[in-house]
Structure 1
Amino acid sequence: MTTEEKLKHFMDVTTQKVNEENAEALEEYENGLNKVFEDYKENATRRAELSLKLKEESLIKKKNAEVARRQMEIREETGRLQKELTEKIFAEVKGKLERYMGTGDYERYLIAQVRAAKDFAGDDEILIYIDPADIDKKNSIAAAANTTVMVSKYGFGGGIRAVIKSRGILIDQSFETKVKEAAEGFVFHL
């Protein structure tokens, strides 16, 4: 084998060896890049899913907050309207009571209430009061019920009040109290 042939053979073997090493290194490099790329894709997918989940949760929280805010507004508006309607209803009730107080039925009602209070007291002393607005009915009520009737110093919207001191009892049949109790117990059913 000549030197040239030896050199060519050496060159071929060396080139083949270098090409094999280069191919092996290139394959390792490609495998490394592929692994890095797969890891990157996996992390990017995980981050994207997490970001999407966080955005969904944020939107749900915002929606829930908006729903809660709107429900509160509706409750406040409903409460305001109920209060307004209740005030109108009881203003109408008071107007009807005032008209009723100008009738003979009202005077008969007062006489019946005075008699009922007197019967309840039995033999105990009872002080019976009528509203100052009913002063014109005092004598006829006292005569019809056969008892003493006094005019209260304080207005109570009609009706009667009576006191049985010996038993510590207040009989309150005043319209003011009845309207107040009705208003406190009044509930709208929607």
Structure 2
Amino acid sequence: MTIDEKLQHFYEVSLDEAREDAAQAIQEHKEHLARTLEDHKQTSRQNAEAEIKAETGHVRREVNKALSAEQITLRRDLSRKQEELKETLFAEVKTKVQQFITTAEYDEYLCRRINEAVKFAGDDEIQIYLSSSDKSKANDLAQKTGTPLQVSKEDFIGGIRAEIPHKNILIDNSFSANLASMCREFKFDGGLKNE
């Protein structure tokens, strides 16, 4: 083999090796770029998901905050409206009570309450008070029940109050006390408690 042939052979072998090395380097570089691209895609996807999750959480918190504020406003409005309705209702009840105290049934009611109080006291001394607005009925009721009655200085709309001093007991069957108690205990989600 001549020098030219050897050179040519060396040249071809070197060129083949250089091509193989270049092809291998290009392939490795392509693989590296593909891995880098995939890593970048995955990182971008994770960042986007994290950002979406964070923004979703932020939006959810903002919506919850707005809903809470609206619920508070609605509860206040509901409470205010219920209070208005309650006042209207008890104004009507008071009107009905005032109409009732002008009837004969009211006199019978007072007699029943007086007799119940006397029976409850038994042999103990009892003082029974009528509302100042029932002053005109005192003598008639005392005769019907056979019980001495006193007229209170206070107008408690109607009904009676009785006191058993020996036992330190006050029986309050006055309409004003009963109305105040019912008004205090009244609830729109079931009326009076435990009903």
| More off after superposition, 117-126 vs 157-166 | 117-126
Taking structure 2 as the reference length, the TM-score comes to 0.83
Specify the alignment match of 1:30 in structure 2: 30
Specify the alignment match of 2:83 in structure 1: 83
**Per-residue CA distance 1:110-140 (angstroms, 9 max, x = gap):** 2332222122222211111111122222222
Q: Which runs of 5+ in 2 are unaligned?
A: 191-195
Q: CA deviation at 1:60?
A: 3.2
Specify the alignment match of 2:193 in structure 1: none
Once residues 90 and 163 of structure 2 are traced to their aligned partners in structure 1, the CA distance between those partners, rounded to angstroms, is: 28
Specify the alignment match of 1:145 in structure 2: 145
Once residues 170 and 161 of structure 2 are traced to their aligned partners in structure 1, the CA distance between those partners, rounded to angstroms, is: 7
Task: Give the secondary-structure state (helix, strand or coil) at the position aligned to 1:128.
Answer: strand
Specify the alignment match of 1:117 in structure 2: 117
Specify the alignment match of 2:96 in structure 1: 96
| More off after superposition, 157-166 vs 73-82 | 73-82
| Equivalent residues, number | 190
Taking structure 1 as the reference length, the TM-score comes to 0.84
Q: Which runs of 5+ in 1 are unaligned?
A: none
Once residues 116 and 9 of structure 1 are traced to their aligned partners in structure 2, the CA distance between those partners, rounded to angstroms, is: 136
Specify the alignment match of 2:55 in structure 1: 55
**Per-residue CA distance 1:2-45 (angstroms, 9 max, x = gap):** 66555554444433333332222222221211111111111112
Q: Which amino acid aligns with 1:50?
A: A
Once residues 114 and 71 of structure 2 are traced to their aligned partners in structure 1, the CA distance between those partners, rounded to angstroms, is: 51
Q: Which amino acid aligns with 1:39?
A: D
